[in-house]
Amino acid sequence: MEYGQPEWSTKRISRVLHGTIMLNEREMEKGFELLDAVWAAGITSFDTAALYGGGTCERVLGRWMEERGVREEAFVLGKSCHHSGDRKRVTSFDIAADLADSLARQRAGYHDLHLLHRDDPDVEVGIIVDALNEQLDAGRIRAFGGSNWTTSRIEAANEYAYKKGLTGFVASSPNYSLADEKEVPWEGCLSISGPGKADDRAWYASQKMPLFTWSSIARGFFSGQLTRDNAESLRGEMDGSSVTSYWHEDNWQRLDRVHELAAEKGTSVAQIALAWVLQDPELDIYALVGARTPAEADNNTAVFDIALSSQERDWLDLRRDYR
C-alpha cells in the first residue's frame, strides 16, 4: 500500500480508500471479516456517505471501528447533501442534518474529510462555505470539499473563503478512469476523464488539490469480464448507463489494449485500469474502490506492485500507437 498526507490532514491516507457501500447490517459478521481483511491489507481509509444503504453501511463501519478501537487511526471520508427525488439538498440544513446522522451511525465525533455529494449551482457558494466552516469550527469535520463539483464552482467557493478569511475546499471527488465517459451515469455527476476534460485536470494539477476519484474501472467496463467480442452477450447484464457512457469505439480500443497489457504483465484487467489512474504523474490521486471479499481487497492493494511506463500510459489512453 502507498500513502499520502495532504497538508490539511493529520493522518496518512491510503491511496486506495475502501468503498463501504457494500456493507449491510444483515450480514454484520461478514462485514467485519471484510473490514478486518481490508485493514490488514493496509487500507486504512474509508469512503462513506449518508446516502449509502439508507445508513446501514455507516452503522457497520461505525460498529467495526468502535469494537476494533481504530477510529483515531482510520481516515474517514463522509458525504452529505445528495439530491433526493423531491429536491436538490445542498443547504446548510441538509449539511448539518446529514452530518449529524452520519456521525451517530458511525459512532464518531468527526469526519476526517467531508464532501458535498452533489452541487446546486442555484445556491450561492458563500452560503455553502459559511455552513461548512460552521461544522469545521464545531470540530465535526476536519476538512471539506466537493464531490461532482465543477472546477469553476470550487474556484468561486475558495475565492469567497479567501476574501472572508474562512477555510475553503481542499479536495474534490470527480469520476476519473481510463475510459472517456460520454454520458454521466447519474444526474449531477461529473467526470474529468478523456481528452475533453484536459483543462479540468490541468486546473487540479495547478492547484495541487487531492482528488478522491470514483469508478476507476468505469462501472465494470474494465472489470475483466467484458471484451469487444462478448459485449452483446453481456449487454443484458450490464447497467444501462454503463453501456451509454462507455460502449464507444475509442473506449473499446482502450479496453483491447488493457487486456493485452494485463496478459503480458500477468495481472488483471481491473488492476491495469486502476494502476493507470493511481500512477497519473500530474495529479494527487486517492481512488475510491469497492471490494466484496478479502481476495478482492488484496487485489486492490496489489496494484501498487504494477509499474506502468509513461509510454504504456499514453498507449493505453490512445495518445500513441506503440509502446
Give the total residue count for the chain.
323
Per-residue confidence (pLDDT) for residue 187, from 0 to 100: 85
Per-residue confidence (pLDDT) for residue 118, from 0 to 100: 97
Per-residue confidence (pLDDT) for residue 239, from 0 to 100: 79
Per-residue confidence (pLDDT) for residue 72, from 0 to 100: 98
pLDDT exceeds cutoff 90 at 148: yes
> Please, which residues bridge with residue 16 across strands?
287
- Name the CATH superfamily, with its identifier, for domain 3-221+271-307: NADP-dependent oxidoreductase domain (3.20.20.100)
Q: What is the chain's mean pLDDT, rounded? A: 97
| pLDDT per position as a tens digit, 26-56 | 999 999 999 999 999 999 999 999 999 999 9
Each domain of the chain, given as residue ranges in start order, spans 3-221+271-307
Per-residue confidence (pLDDT) for residue 186, from 0 to 100: 84
Residue 185 — very low, low, confident or very high, per pLDDT cuts 50/70/90? Answer: confident
Residue 315 — very low, low, confident or very high, per pLDDT cuts 50/70/90? Answer: very high
pLDDT exceeds cutoff 90 at 136: yes
Say what percent of the chain tops pLDDT 70: 100
For residue 259, give every residue at least 6 positions away whose Cβ sits within 8 Å of its Cβ, in sequence order, or none: 227, 269
Residue 289 sits at φ, ψ, to 5 deg, of: -130, 135
Task: Supply the pTM of this predicted model.
Answer: 0.96
pLDDT exceeds cutoff 90 at 242: no
pLDDT exceeds cutoff 90 at 142: yes
| pLDDT per position as a tens digit, 60-104 | 999 999 999 999 999 999 999 999 889 889 999 999 999 999 999
Per-residue confidence (pLDDT) for residue 310, from 0 to 100: 98
According to the 3-state scheme, what is the secondary structure of the chain? CCEECCCCCCCCEECEEEEHHHCCHHHHHHHHHHHHHHHHCCCCEEECCCCHHHHHHHHHHHHHHHHHCCCCCCEEEEEECCCCCCCCCCCHHHHHHHHHHHHHHHCCCCECEEEECCCCCCCCHHHHHHHHHHHHHCCCECCEEEECCCHHHHHHHHHHHHHHCCCCCCCEECECCCCCCCCCCCCCCCECCCHHHHHHHHHHHHHCCCEEEECCCCCCCCCCCCCCCCHHHHHHHCCHHHHHHHCCHHHHHHHHHHHHHHHHHCCCHHHHHHHHHHCCCCCCEEEEECCCCHHHHHHHHHHHHCCCCHHHHHHHCCCCCCC
For residue 228, give every residue at least 6 positions away whose Cβ sits within 8 Å of its Cβ, in sequence order, or none: 252, 255, 256
Residue 168 — very low, low, confident or very high, per pLDDT cuts 50/70/90? Answer: very high
